Structure 1
Amino acid sequence: MFEVRTPRTGKARRALEKRAPKLVETGKKTLILHGTKTSGVLNAVLTEIFHMKKGSAVKFSRKNENIKPFESGGETSLEFFLNRTDCSIFVFGSQLKKRPDNLVIGRAYDHHIYDLVEVGVENFKPMESFKYDKKLASQIGSKPLIAFIGEGFENVEELKHLKEVLLDLLRGEVIENLNLVGVDRAYVCTAISSNMVFLSHCGLRLKKSGTKVPRMELEEVGPSMDLVVRRHRLPNDSLQEEAMKTTREKPKKKVKNVSKDTIEGKIGKIYMPDQKVGDVALPNIAKGVKRERREAKLKNGEDRHASKKLKENST
């Protein structure tokens, strides 16, 4: 169990809020590790994956003896590294006699192993073996296109699972709007058989097409490899149910006196209070009104004097 610490400073509090679960997750970081034994081909594969994921990947160079993803108890140290680096995807390379050039790709939820896919690497070709214009090299932060070709990705369970994992590994940050200038590469995954997938990395060349949308041409820039599916492990039902939870959208507050019509659109009602004209104060008093007031005062004064004389005569 990891020790739960409460933040004491504003910087620590902001860091914890950044790592907290979000309704819309940002790009996932990838952790790349080595096993006890690795071959030269496998080291090159892990290095190429790190370069393709540059900016959102963490690579460990030391060997790890205690990491065995498919065995019980062999996930403890892996989950510890995922928690310390805040990574939700990992790529683990190992070399065994029965499983040469073995690559394990997995996802994590809440820093716990979610699912695993084990593949073998065959016919690997690094970027150095391809000759292409250096302008086609991928830039950091660019958005790739991912194409899955073949019916196996829809019918075979192993390939369907591999498709989901590769999408999370290669797609980068989830965005809503996309500029064509930021699309400079493509990953092409072709299902050769029920357990083999050919993965290639291509650069996009934009050419004139006579319209606003340019014509795109693919040029292979590497790396390329064959991935042979060996083992895979789906997530537990309880963990999958917890990971798939989404918050309900808050119901919108009803706006009074507003309705919508298919013809007129948005319609609103305005209620005006009764206007009491007699109680409204006039801003400017007219001269005629002043004269009437003076005459009324004089008349009232004469009436008072007349009433006083009548009183005196009566006495």
Structure 2
Amino acid sequence: MLKVKTPKNPRVKRALEKRAPKLVETGKKTLILQGTKTSNTLNDVLTELYLLKKGSAIRYTRKNENIRPFESGGETSLEFFSLKTDCSIFIYGSTSKKRPDNLVIGRTYDHHIYDLVEVGVENFKPLNSFIYDKKLAPRVGSKPFICFVGEGFESVEELKHLKEVLVDLLRGEVIENLNLAGLDHAYVCTAVSSNRVFFTHCALRLKKSGTIVPRMELVEVGPSMDFVVRRHRLPNESLRKEAMKTAKDRSKKKVKNVGQDAIQGKIGKIYIPDQKLGDMALPNKAKGVKRERREAKMKNDPTERASKKQKEESV
């Protein structure tokens, strides 16, 4: 039998709970690594993607020979790195004669490969090739707009899958409330054809419009490139259902004396204790009641009034 190791102190227990799968996910970290052969262009692409994800990304610069995401047995090292770094998204770059400047973007569930999208990089323009006011440069930790332009993202299966992966890669941590001052850049993805997507990164510039709402302009700050979709692999249906569980699917704790009705909706039962009217104090006592009680007391005990008179005379 396998020995089950339990955490020896609270710090290790908290670390294991933090890495465990959650119904409500926190921010996803991205692992960026490369294969045996890479070109200068691909190295620049990986570096600038790391700069865009700075704060929530880990970059490995050593060559990895055993990683082949689309081959059976070539995913073991990738899953090990995912477990080691606690990253649920990865970008793997490699180049070959058959697939030059190749990027594989994938997601993991419970540190096992969930799905994969392979794209080729063309027409790459780095950050230093764009001239703009440096005050417009996006700040680290700010939230982006993500814009998908083109009907291909709704009709072509490969582009629909690429859209899902890019949203997970670029959006960062999911939040409920947002200050508009934290929105300072946008990612624009344009479907040029059924297998080509133009990707660019823009900063937001606010200008006067004569109204309360300012006019917004996009200033391209880079990088920009073309993604040519090559291969993709969707998850199987059982794994998709397991990964898509949300907090609503969690079994709710039964609440006492509360039920549901198809017409009236939520119904509750209220239990009121027995009222003891004899022990209740009347708030307003009538003066007539006091006088009747005093007269009745005098009739029952006439000596009491005489004793009071004697005390007055003695005084």
Q: Offset of 1:269 from its aligned partner?
A: 8.9
In structure 2, the partner of 1:187 is 187
Separation of aligned partners in 2, 1:18 and 1:102: 33
Indicate yes or no: 2:81 matched with 1:81. yes
Confirm or deny: 8 A CA contact 2:33 2:59 kept in the other structure: yes
Q: Give per-residue Cα distances to partners, 1:61-100, cap 9 Å, x unaligned.
A: 1111111101110100110000011100000001111111
Separation of aligned partners in 1, 2:123 and 2:187: 17
Judged with a 3 Å threshold, the aligned counterparts in structure 2 of structure 1 residues 147 and 275 are, in CA distance, closer, same or farther, namely: same
In structure 1, the partner of 2:108 is 108
Q: Residue 184 of structure 1 aligns to a residue in which SS?
A: strand
Confirm or deny: 8 A CA contact 2:185 2:202 kept in the other structure: yes
Q: Which moved more, 1:75-84 or 1:170-179?
A: 170-179
- The amino acid across from 1:68 in the alignment is R
Q: Residue 163 of structure 1 aligns to a residue in which SS?
A: helix
In structure 2, the partner of 1:65 is 65
Q: Offset of 1:15 from its aligned partner?
A: 1.6
In structure 2, the partner of 1:124 is 124
Confirm or deny: 8 A CA contact 2:55 2:140 kept in the other structure: yes
Q: Residue 17 of structure 2 aligns to a residue in which SS?
A: helix
Q: Offset of 1:176 from its aligned partner?
A: 1.8
Q: Give per-residue Cα distances to partners, 1:180-225, cap 9 Å, x unaligned.
A: 1111000110111111110000000112223332221000000000
Judged with a 3 Å threshold, the aligned counterparts in structure 2 of structure 1 residues 89 and 4 are, in CA distance, closer, same or farther, namely: farther
Separation of aligned partners in 2, 1:211 and 1:32: 44
- The amino acid across from 1:158 in the alignment is E
Q: Residue 15 of structure 2 aligns to a residue in which SS?
A: helix
Matches within 5 A, 1:211-290: 211-246=211-246, 247-248=249-250, 250=252, 253=255, 276=277, 278-280=278-280
Confirm or deny: 8 A CA contact 2:23 2:245 kept in the other structure: no
Q: State the aligned residue count.
A: 293
In structure 2, the partner of 1:296 is 300
Q: What stretches of structure 2 of length at least 5 have no aligned partner?
A: 305-315
In structure 1, the partner of 2:313 is none
Q: What stretches of structure 1 of length at least 5 have no aligned partner?
A: 263-267, 301-315
Q: Residue 143 of structure 2 aligns to a residue in which SS?
A: coil
Q: Which moved more, 1:50-59 or 1:135-144?
A: 135-144
In structure 1, the partner of 2:309 is none
Q: Which moved more, 1:7-16 or 1:81-90?
A: 7-16
Judged with a 3 Å threshold, the aligned counterparts in structure 2 of structure 1 residues 299 and 279 are, in CA distance, closer, same or farther, namely: farther
Confirm or deny: 8 A CA contact 2:143 2:182 kept in the other structure: yes
Over the aligned positions, Cα root-mean-square deviation in angstroms equals 3.3
Q: Which moved more, 1:47-56 or 1:228-237?
A: 228-237
Which entry has the higher C-alpha Rg, 1 or 2?
A: 1
Over the matched positions of the two proteins, sequence identity in percent amounts to 69
In structure 2, the partner of 1:7 is 7
- The amino acid across from 1:114 in the alignment is Y
